[in-house]
Amino acid sequence: MVKNSFAGIKALVMGLGLNGGGIESARYLALRGAEVSVTDLRDEKILAPSIEKLEAGIEGATIRYILGRHDMEDFEKADMVIKNPGVRPDSPYLKKARRIETDISLFLAASPARLSAVTGSKGKSTTASALHWVLKEAREYHGLPGKAFLGGNITVSPLTFLDELEEGDDVVLELSSWQLGDVKGRTKENSKDNGTPAPLLKPRAAVLTAIMPDHLDRYGTMEAYIADKRIIYQGQDSCDATVARDDEWGRSFHRESKGRPLVYSAQPLLEGIAGGWLTPNGGPGIARIANGKLVEVVPEKLLTPGDHQKMNLLAASLALLDLGIDADFIRESIGRFPGIEHRLEFFMESKGVRFYNDSAATIPEAAAAAIAALGSPVLVTGGTDKNLDYAPFIKAAPKAKAILLLAGTGSEKIRKLLDAAGTPYKGPYDSAGAAAKAAMEIAQRGDAIALSPGCTSFGMFLNEFDRGNKWKEAVRKYAEA
């Protein structure tokens, strides 16, 4: 069990948020004696659920709140500022901070567990969840020592389980580019490896999923965006493994990483290359292990649809093999993996129509992948723009039975492109309910209706998870009417 003291430290949490990171940072520090203040540009009304959750978990500790604004004086006086990943590193407030931490950096500094880390543009939540699923089942079925935990960008702060961790446990962290950028070049205090400070982030297995344009409204260029992704393996050495695709980005990751390269591909790998591939026509995923023997690690039939999902599970399987999990067990456990919420999530069927929630599809390529995975769905898409190229979605759109747009700046760009391509659409609709009702009027028995936005959620929704939950609520309301 981890016991760190922050007695007397003046800690300022910048961004309480709605998904756990700020809440858990404030709780973690308050329970260890820090004088905690919380500042957020959102007001008390919006943050009420987060404040209620925080207050219920601090056992009498007192927290000061500065809401609806930031005061520069708070940043100047704080010994430590804990930033939300969404806060840009060039914030003028952060320039006044003496020390900057995040919930991830606080966790990494204290965790005794073996770490696997996953990043990428799309597929990282599925890959991280599958890794955790198999590691957890390996303990349940085979009595392996320790426990398995999952956290990070998947909306579970690892600080929630830090106190439970012991050596022999496994932790899987999903890490966004923003979270990785926040730990760049960081080392552990009072810890040295071969005479040099030990890196703060040193995953035993680092997995990089599909790389696609994303967050260019913040980064400006793909190179700047990918530079933060590269941080995931920069603390590794030859005792660790780096799993990446056989594309241009993946090859550059493997050239740079000091970890053992493991390649995953849609095509058979050349002899001598360690990794795995998918067999043709929707077949199983194969891995080549150390002695050259081929083993099946991903079954042909999965509970989650789509070849892109099978690629994610192949990447997870290669990491699991390197972590010492038996190939036969990986295949069996992956076959039981149910997928995760908001990622092509099948959540109900009504009158012969299947309904999916793919709200985490926040880039055009992901919405295009949903069309491919579901065949010819009635697709609800669109939202807020983040300076992305919508061409991949426009190319896939004619394969959908119908396209319905949610209102937003991204949808306005999509409308113009669909008009130019001669692809029909309906909308834009100003609520999830209006879009759901319209989609049900189009769909027939045997069809699939999916929310797969290809855009960010801000404007109409608090975040992608709020969007997905409101979609499911709307579908259930109108399907039962």
Examine the domain organization and report whether 14 and 82 are in the same domain: yes
CA R_g for the chain: 23
Long-range contacts formed by 334-338: CB under 8 A, 24+ apart: 334/130, 334/133, 334/134, 334/297, 334/298, 334/299, 334/302, 335/299, 335/301, 335/302, 335/303, 336/133, 336/137, 336/303, 337/129, 337/130, 337/133, 337/134, 337/302, 337/303, 337/304, 337/313, 338/303, 338/304
CATH code of the domain covering residue 397? 3.90.190.20
Q: Could you tell me if residue 261 is inside a domain?
A: yes
Q: Could you tell me if residue 426 is inside a domain?
A: yes
Which tokens is 66 given? 């500065």
The number of beta carbons lying within 10 Å of the beta carbon of residue 3 is 7
Examine the domain organization and report whether 208 and 278 are in the same domain: yes
Examine the domain organization and report whether 370 and 411 are in the same domain: yes
Q: Which residues are annotated as a binding site for ATP?
A: 120-126
Q: Cβ distance 133 to 246 under 8 Å?
A: no
Q: Could you tell me if residue 447 is inside a domain?
A: yes
Examine the domain organization and report whether 19 and 153 are in the same domain: no
pTM, entire model: 0.81
Which of these, 215, 200, 208, 29, lies nearest to 108 by C-alpha position? 200
Q: What is the pLDDT of residue 142?
A: 83
**What φ, ψ does residue 465 adopt, rounded to 5°?**
-75, -40
CA 458 – CA 473 distance, rounded (Å)? 18
Examine the domain organization and report whether 376 and 473 are in the same domain: yes
Examine the domain organization and report whether 186 and 245 are in the same domain: yes
Q: Of 315, 336, 357, which residue constitutes the final position of a domain?
A: 336
Examine the domain organization and report whether 320 and 364 are in the same domain: no
CA 388 – CA 378 distance, rounded (Å)? 23
Please state the domain count of the chain.
3
Residue 470, strand partner residues: none
Examine the domain organization and report whether 325 and 373 are in the same domain: no
Q: What is the pLDDT of residue 375?
A: 87
Q: Could you tell me if residue 3 is inside a domain?
A: no
CATH code of the domain covering residue 303? 3.40.1190.10
Q: What is the pLDDT of residue 221?
A: 92
Q: What is the pLDDT of residue 108?
A: 97
**How far, in Å, are 174, 429, 468 from residue 122 at the CA level?**
11, 26, 17
Examine the domain organization and report whether 48 and 33 are in the same domain: yes
**Residue range of the domain that includes 424:** 345-479
Examine the domain organization and report whether 161 and 289 are in the same domain: yes
Q: Cβ distance 102 to 183 under 8 Å?
A: yes
Q: Could you tell me if residue 185 is inside a domain?
A: yes
Q: Of 336, 362, 377, which residue constitutes the final position of a domain?
A: 336
Q: Could you tell me if residue 55 is inside a domain?
A: yes
| Residues of the chain scoring pLDDT < 70 | 1-4, 19-20, 192-194, 481
Q: Of 70, 101, 132, which residue constitutes the final position of a domain?
A: 101
HEC per residue, the chain: CCCCCCCCCEEEEECCCCCCHHHHHHHHHHCCCCEEEEEECCCCCCCHHHHHHHHCCCCCCCEEEEECCCCHHHHHHCCEEEECCCCCCCCCCHHHCCCEECHHHHHHHHCCCEEEEEECCECHHHHHHHHHHHHHHHHHHHCCCCCEEEEECCCECHHHCHHHCCCCCEEEEECCHHHHHCCCCCEEEEEEECCEEEECCCCCEEEECECCCCCHHHHCCHHHHHHHHHHHHCCCCCCCEEEEECCHHHHHHHHHCCCEEEEEECCCCCCCCCEEEECCCCCCEEEECCCCCEEEEECCCCCCCCHHHHHHHHHHHHHHHHCCCCHHHHHHHHHHCCCCCCCCEEEEEECCEEEEECCCCCCHHHHHHHHHHHCCCEEEECCECCCCCCHHHHHHHHHCCEEEEECCHHHHHHHHHHHHHCCCCEEEECCHHHHHHHHHHHCCCCCEEEECCCCECECCECCHHHHHHHHHHHHHHHHCC
Q: Could you tell me if residue 2 is inside a domain?
A: no
CATH code of the domain covering residue 27? 3.40.50.720
Examine the domain organization and report whether 249 and 322 are in the same domain: yes
Q: What is the pLDDT of residue 306?
A: 81
Q: Which residues are annotated as a binding site?
A: 120-126
Q: What is the pLDDT of residue 164?
A: 95
Q: Could you tell me if residue 92 is inside a domain?
A: yes
Examine the domain organization and report whether 332 and 200 are in the same domain: yes
